[in-house]
Amino acid sequence: MDKYNCWFQSIENSDYKYDINEVIYRCSKTGSLLEVEHDLNELKKKTRDYWKDLFDSRYRRQSWPYGSGVWGKKEWVAPFIEDKNIVSMYEGGTNLFWADKYGKQVGVEDLWIKMCGNSHTGSFKDLGMTVLVSAVKQLIANGNEIKAVACASTGDTSAALSAYCAAAGLKSIVFLPKNKVSVAQLVQPLANGASVISLDTDFDGCMKIVQEVCKKQNIYLANSINSLRIEGQKTISIELCQQFDWEVPDWIIIPGGNLGNVSALGKGFLMLKDLGLISKLPRLVCAQAENANPLYLSYLKDFETFNSVSAKTTLANAIQIGDPVSVNKAINILKKFDGIVEQANEDELATSSAKVDLTGTFNCPHTGVAVAAFEKLVKKKIIKKNDKVVIISTAHGLKFVDFKIHYHLEQLKGISNQFSNHPFEMEAKVDKVLEVLEKQIL
Ligand X SMILES: *Cc1c(COP(=O)(O)O)cnc(C)c1O
The contact set with ligand X (CB under 6 A) reads 123, 125, 156, 224, 255-261, 318-319, 364, 366, 394-395
Cβ 246 to ligand X shortest distance, Å: 25
Cβ 298 to ligand X shortest distance, Å: 14
Nearer to ligand X, 277 or 292 (CB): 292
Cβ 77 to ligand X shortest distance, Å: 17
CA distance 290 to 342: 9
What's the full length of the chain, in residues?
442
**Is residue 422 classed exposed, middle or buried when 0-12, 13-18 and 19+ CB atoms within 10 A define those classes?**
exposed
Residue 255, CA atoms < 13 Å, CB-side half-sphere: 33
Cβ 123 to ligand X shortest distance, Å: 4
Nearer to ligand X, 92 or 256 (CB): 256
CB-CB contact of 323 with 292 (8 Å)? no
Distances from the Cα of 179 to the Cαs of 198, 313, 414, in angstroms?
Answer: 8, 11, 21
Nearer to ligand X, 257 or 294 (CB): 257
Distances from the Cα of 351 to the Cαs of 101, 268, 312, in angstroms?
Answer: 17, 31, 19
Cβ 127 to ligand X shortest distance, Å: 11
Nearer to ligand X, 219 or 369 (CB): 369
222: phi then psi, degrees, rounded to nearest 5 = -105, 10
Cβ 171 to ligand X shortest distance, Å: 23
Nearer to ligand X, 139 or 238 (CB): 238
CA distance 224 to 152: 10
CB-CB contact of 198 with 178 (8 Å)? yes
Cβ 263 to ligand X shortest distance, Å: 8
Residue 149: enclosing H or E segment and its boundaries?
strand 148-152
Nearer to ligand X, 43 or 262 (CB): 262
Nearer to ligand X, 221 or 318 (CB): 318
Cβ 293 to ligand X shortest distance, Å: 13
**Is residue 438 classed exposed, middle or buried when 0-12, 13-18 and 19+ CB atoms within 10 A define those classes?**
exposed
Taking alpha carbons only, the member of 246, 396, 233 closest to residue 326 is 233
Nearer to ligand X, 275 or 285 (CB): 285
